[in-house]
């Protein structure tokens, strides 16, 4: 095989994990491709860098072991994110502390710096009021740059359901935060 590993598809690389031929290089390339997406999802969901680092390591270990065991995977990205989702849920069951910062939402706010902590708490509270599926879909789309189809594969629902969940999540967040954010205007 003379091709560079970055020219292989995700499925071709995963097949190499299963077959042992080029396993290490294939894993490194898959890690390179998914590292940012996995990290972003873990960090946003867990709001604790140390916990997120642990979960990222666990995710890639689970992924590697699945390849070693010969798992059959149709969509590598969806499979990876399903592992991430399950690992995050496991971690959340261990710890309940999750905070979302204003910078993460990229909301333009007419407040001074000393009000930022208060606004971050409002955002966290508003997110906690969203149904879990809506919050999860919004995080995957916004912070992991996942498509509706990828999210649908992970959540095991139709793509239109994902789109509706994201629209409803954004609408509800705007509604919940509108009084607070618009006070300064």
Class of domain 102-184: mainly alpha
In the chain, ranges of CATH 1.10.10.10 domains: 102-184
Q: Is 16:64 a contact under the CB 8 Å cutoff?
A: no
Q: Which part of the chain is CATH 1.10.1740.10? A: 5-94
Report the interhelical angle of 148-155 vs 159-181 (nearest 10°).
110
Q: Can you tell me the distance from the alpha carbon of 30 to that of 14, in angstroms, rounded to the nearest whole number?
A: 8
Which residues make Cβ contacts (< 8 Å) with residue 62, sequence separation at least 6?
83, 87
The per-residue pLDDT for 183 is 47
The secondary element (H helix, E strand) that includes residue 49 is helix 49-68
What tens-digit pLDDT sequence spans the chain (185 residues)? Answer: 446 888 999 999 999 988 877 889 999 999 999 999 899 888 888 878 898 999 999 999 999 999 889 888 888 988 998 999 899 988 887 764 444 444 445 454 454 555 666 777 787 778 778 898 998 898 888 777 788 988 898 888 999 999 999 999 988 888 888 877 654 44
The alpha carbon of residue 173 and the mean position of all alpha carbons in its chain are separated, in whole angstroms, by 19
- Answer whether 0.75 is exceeded by the pTM: no
- What pLDDT is attached to residue 104? 46
pLDDT of residue 98: 41
Task: Give me the CATH code for the 5-94 domain, please.
Answer: 1.10.1740.10
């Amino acid at each position: 095989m003379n091709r560079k590993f970055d020219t292989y598809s995700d499925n071709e690389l995963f097949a190499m994990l299963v077959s042992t031929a080029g396993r290490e290089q294939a894993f490194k390339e898959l890690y390179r491709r998914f590292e940012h997406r996995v990290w972003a999802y873990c960090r946003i969901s867990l709001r604790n860098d140390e916990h997120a680092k642990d979960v990222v390591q666990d995710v890639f270990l689970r992924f590697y072991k699945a390849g070693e065991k010969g798992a059959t995977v149709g969509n590598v990205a969806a499979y990876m994110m399903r592992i991430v989702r399950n690992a995050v849920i496991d971690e959340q069951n261990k710890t309940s502390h999750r905070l979302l910062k204003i910078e993460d939402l990229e909301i333009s706010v007419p407040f001074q710096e000393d009000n930022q902590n208060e606004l971050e708490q409002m955002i966290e509270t508003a997110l906690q009021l969203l149904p879990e599926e809506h919050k999860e879909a919004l995080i995957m789309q916004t912070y992991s740059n996942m498509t509706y189809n990828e999210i649908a594969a992970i959540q095991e629902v139709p793509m239109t359901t994902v789109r509706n969940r994201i629209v409803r999540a954004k609408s509800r967040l705007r509604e919940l935060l509108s009084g607070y954010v618009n006070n300064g205007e």
